[in-house]
Structure 1
Amino acid sequence: MIRKSRKEDIDKLVEIWFEVSLKAHDFIGEGYWQAAQEDMREKYLPMSDTYVVEGKNEIRGFVSMLDNYLAAIFIDSRFQSQGYGKKLMDFVKKDRDYIELKVFKKNNKACDFYINNGFKIKDELTDENTNEKEYLMVWKCIE
């Protein structure tokens, strides 16, 4: 089941984001992610349209959109590769003609996920906070 996130979900969402970020971005120091937790809790999640995917009354992952920008999609590591990411991606695509996102180039698993979900690399950039290479990727609805 996918539903709009609620205020009481924030701690769980930040927990999932932090845990998965550490594993997926092992090329960035843990201190970077620790420092970003408060902004995630107080700024980024509240200002985004965030939806959670649940199974057995447990949040398994979430997606956050800022208009047509995919700001975050994270699946609890215990539930990855079970289709939850695809369900969330399909959910946000159904009401949009265009989505863009940035993903670290070294995050091969995420890059593959986005490509498998119809995204194309539009540009290669450098993240100003980490100095890491990242891709700007886009998806366009084809009708």
Structure 2
Amino acid sequence: MADNTSHTSTFHTITFELTTGSQEVALDITDRCAAFLDSTAPGRDGLLNIFVPHATAGIAVIETGAGSDDDLLAVLRDLLPADSRWRHRHGTPGHGRDHVLPGLVAPHATLPVVGGRLALGIWQSIVLIDTNGDNPRRTVRLSFLG
């Protein structure tokens, strides 16, 4: 049976800037992602890609507000201590760990969009993870394909 459905794909992308400060942070950006979809993908199905073009930050999909975001930062401190063991040595002491972070918390996530809305679980949020106090300015790229 032939599929006579017409499919038109569109691609939309934006960037926005954030200031994360000089401390480790798990910053919820779910509302920014939802607002982007409201303006570019109303009623559409597709994929949202969230990408942070930095060598020292990542994107996580986790629960926030109940301690999981702080727990993730604590685990990262345990796994990646800010000490002198790192070969990458520019910046503040222990900064080399920040360059290992994207190997554990990827700098991107791709999520389903159904009817113009993120298809997240009830407790899931999109979170920018930044352990690098040397660079408080971050760019986030949102791209919708649908």
Which category describes the TM-score, using the shorter chain as reference length? under 0.3
Higher relative contact order (CA 8 A, sep 6+): 2
Q: TM-score, normalised by structure 1?
A: 0.23
Q: TM-score, normalised by structure 2?
A: 0.23
Larger % of helix: which? Answer: 1
Which of the two has higher C-alpha Rg?
A: 2
